[in-house]
Amino acid sequence: MAVIRGKATLQLGGDDGIKLTITKGDILVIPAGVAHKNLGNEKDVIVIGGYPGGRDYDMNYGKPAERPAADSNIKKLPVPSTDPLLGKANGVPKIWKSARQKAGKKK
């Protein structure tokens, strides 16, 4: 997601998550499954975004009944092949692969 105008305060990670102010020029990569919401007026900011491989969003609202299917869908997602800012060798692909390896070792 790229901020192209204005600013906003986001909350990432659910009700107990961090609050982050974003402004024009900022780029965020929000992994699948990370709750996020704008805490202010949606007209105060304009953002553009996209999903790897032409995928579409999968909107969920944190309801318990959504969880099993959402978890399954997240696990099926491939590691993105490129980072929107840093390219193929760094950023999202590197971080995501590392996180998946660590999660696999915990099982």
Residue spans of the domains in the chain: they are 2-59
pLDDT of residue 107: 58
Report yes or no: 47 and 2 within 8 Å, Cβ to Cβ: yes
Sign of the CA dihedral running 77, 67, 99, 22: positive
- Split the chain (107 residues) into runs of 10 and give each run's mean pLDDT: 96 94 94 90 92 83 89 87 87 86 74
Q: What pLDDT is stored for residue 43 in this prediction? A: 93
- pTM as predicted: 0.77
